[in-house]
Chain A
Amino acid sequence: MSSTATTDRPSNVSEALARGRLGVPSVIFFVLSAATPLTVVAGVVTTGYGVVGVLGIPLAFVVVAAVLTLFATGYVAMARRMANAGAFYSYVSRGLGRPAGVGTAWAALVAYNGLQVGLYGTIGAAATPVLNRLFGIEPLWWIVALAAWALVAVLGLLRVDINGMVLAALLCAEIAIILVFDLGQLGNPAGGSVSFAAFSPENFFVPGVGAVLVLAILGFVGFEASVVFSEESKDPKRTVPMATYLSVAIIGVVYALSSWSMTVAVGPDRIAEEAGTQSVDLIFNLAGAHLGDTVLAIGQVLFLTSVLAAMIAFHNTTARYAFALGRERVLPAVFGRTSPTSGAPRAASLAQSALGLLVIVLYAVNGWDPVLQLFFWLGTSGGFGVLLLIATTAISIIAYFARSGEQETLWRRLIAPGIAAIALIAIIVLAVQNFADLLGVEPDSPLRWAFPAAFPVVALLGVLWGLVLRSSRPDTYARIGLGAESAAAVVPPASLTEPAPLTTEVR
């Protein structure tokens, strides 16, 4: 808007608003710090090798990075035309209709909650080595989880988003330590020679490929947030797309490299077994053996901060999702209110915290395994949910451009999202077939159907609710998908509900 000003006179308004606009690096930092790479490398990848037992995880990261780049092409093109660009359900509302949008929103709430709550399962494993070093104690996992829960709950309410500079420093430290770990692993290959077996297609196209692809998707969750900054970026047409592509590329390279170097150090033939027994400790045991105790200690501390940062990031994502839905009145309006002093979406934040507490208590009381059954099951199921969201969004992008007739290149409006949609649907089919592998349960376990089925069931309920809204509350129905903008989108003419008339005298 500002750049197309018709006068040559310098504009105070444009200049004042341009100050503090974000460039490509700022947006990348924001996206990557929510992606918390060390949580993925130390937590998800190691557990993934152990549970799924497929060597091709590095190749899966490369494949998913390619698919998401294609997806992002259409995604950023549509994002510029969207009111509530950060949320997948807005795209679905515009592309496939509002009932489908509500279904997507509900499924998204389940998926993001799964990702957030799952992290409480790994915080114990992350904190124990650090607490042991500092105080010589090894508390029960759920005591650590409850402490972390309290921290997240309070920070979520106070909305003390960790300072951007702190997050950026943590992110740089995380990536640096990951690369140091990688070098240590590559410098100490098992059997004396570096093996590229993990990138070989024959170790990828095996039973279980669907499971590792879901794991890879899980590692990229958070890339979708880049488009939130469309309005605040220096150049919406360039900054946000560039930041999105670069984020996906950086995440892909770091994860592929790290998961590969692990196989080099342990040996491709033994990685599944070693990861199975050592779980999250695998990468740290390797680092301790290769690089000494100091590097190990730094890595352990950063893993703890990384998991905490991931919890806070997903807590805020989930709370904002509920907030946007509350603003639209798709969820009760109370979710759309904020705490006056902090601006935190109070009810949404409390609801998310309540769910987290419930799950921690449930697992502690039943004595279920926190890393496998909480972190890995809920995390991968959440990742599967996000996979469904991305695929639905890809189809919505094609439908939106086909219906709206907006000017856009054929590549961005049809070909790229089309290829992405086909690839994503193929991944979904493989993932559903391999869900028992993904969870590490027997093929006839009812859980292998219960987890993936949760999303379509919830989505269907959401669609039904959308249809109810269409007939019973048309003004709410009209706002679906607009998020916070819904307040301004519907300014109905004189209300039909006999409002109190106003006296017009101006004091």
Chain B
Amino acid sequence: MLIADEFFLIAHNDIRGKAKLHPAATGLGLAAGLLGELILYGHITVTSAQVTVIDRRPPADALAHTVLDQLIGEAQHQAVRTWLSFLAQTAVTSVGERLARAGVLRRQESRRLLRTTVNYLPTDLNVAAWPATRLRAVLERNEPPSVPDALLLGLVAAAGLTREVLWSAGPRAHHRLNLIVPALPAPLKELVAHTEAAVGAAVLRGAL
């Protein structure tokens, strides 16, 4: 499963699809997930807080393709923080739709008062609960995590969801988590750091 998809499932309740994380951090975490996917597949890189496109060939995934097109089309914007803010605005919908297309989630519209709200309900509890379960297991194991898992763990920590994932884990897992982000490849390490900073800035502005 892709990074942003797993982040989405971790950030939402695995039965009723309710958000476990406040909207600003959810959006930023998902946005970072989308950029992270493009970094992992070698389409873009992040250095000195700037996003650079290094491979313009279209990615297999439709959403990744869209994001890459946006990055290419608006090359005047390079700051990671700009892209995180921009992608965060629509990330819940775009990633939610991607998971719905994959059959993992089911889109549900509900009308309350005058507003229509869209929810994404898991179709299979086990599938929805799997990413968090797997991350816990990764941290309990002795061998180092894969890069995508390490990135996902970094983003979960940056968004403030650590406790949701590690609620039952021991101090060893917490300790290992602290070592994982510094060991990430430089572009991903930067991405995680900027996500954490953007989430913190949103808290300070009270703009959640």
Chain A residues close to B by CB (< 8 Å): 1-2, 5-7, 11-14, 16-17, 84, 86, 159, 161, 228-229, 231-232, 316, 320, 323-324, 327, 336-338, 340-343, 345, 483-489, 491-495, 497, 499-507
Contact = CB atoms under 8 A, between A and B. Distances in A.
Q: Residue among A229, A320, A340, A497 with the most chain B CB within 10 A?
A: A340
A256 B95 CA distance: 55
10 shortest interchain CB distances as A-B pairs: A484-B200, A499-B183, A488-B197, A487-B196, A495-B182, A343-B22, A343-B208, A487-B197, A500-B144, A499-B179
A159 B204 CA distance: 12
A491 B193 contact: yes
A486 B147 contact: no
Given A232-B205, A323-B203, A505-B146, A341 B22 contact: yes
A502 B208 contact: no
B102 interface: no
B160 interface: yes
30 contacts: A1-B79, A11-B77, A12-B70, A13-B70, A13-B77, A14-B77, A159-B22, A161-B206, A228-B204, A228-B205, A232-B207, A323-B204, A324-B204, A340-B22, A340-B160, A340-B161, A341-B19, A343-B24, A343-B25, A345-B203, A483-B200, A484-B200, A486-B197, A487-B200, A499-B180, A500-B145, A502-B145, A502-B146, A502-B185, A506-B147
Interface string B156-174: 0010110110000000000
Contact of A12 (B25, B74, B143): B74
B56 to A, nearest CB: 18
A494 B86 CA distance: 30
A484 B49 CA distance: 16
A243 to B, nearest CB: 15
A86 B186 CA distance: 30
Contacts of B14: none
B89 interface: yes
Nearest to A346: B160
A342 B146 CA distance: 31
Interface residues of B, number: 55
A320 B203 contact: yes
B64 interface: no
B193 A327 contact: no
A501 B144 contact: yes
A84 B145 CA distance: 34
Contact of A343 (B143, B164, B194, B202): B202
B150 interface: yes
Contacts of A324: 200, 204
B59 interface: no
B136 interface: no
B53 to A, nearest CB: 14
B147 A7 contact: no
A11 B74 contact: yes
Contacts of A161: 206
Interface in B32-63: 40-41, 49
A129 B31 CA distance: 52
A231 B79 CA distance: 14
Contacts of B82: 1, 13, 17
B65 interface: no
A248 B104 CA distance: 54
A5 B78 CA distance: 11
Q: Residue among A327, A489, A497, A504 with the most chain B CB within 10 A?
A: A327
A497 B175 CA distance: 12
B85 interface: yes
B128 to A, nearest CB: 17
B63 to A, nearest CB: 16
A320 B183 contact: no
B201 interface: yes
Given A228-B205, A327-B200, A343-B25, A502 B164 contact: no
Contacts of A486: 197
B91 to A, nearest CB: 12
A506 B86 contact: no
Given A340-B164, A502-B145, A506-B148, A487 B183 contact: no
Contacts of B20: 340-341
B5 interface: no
B21 interface: yes
B76 A7 contact: yes
Contacts of A316: 206
A197 to B, nearest CB: 43
Contacts of B129: none
A13 B86 contact: yes
A31 to B, nearest CB: 13
B86 A17 contact: yes
Nearest to A348: B203
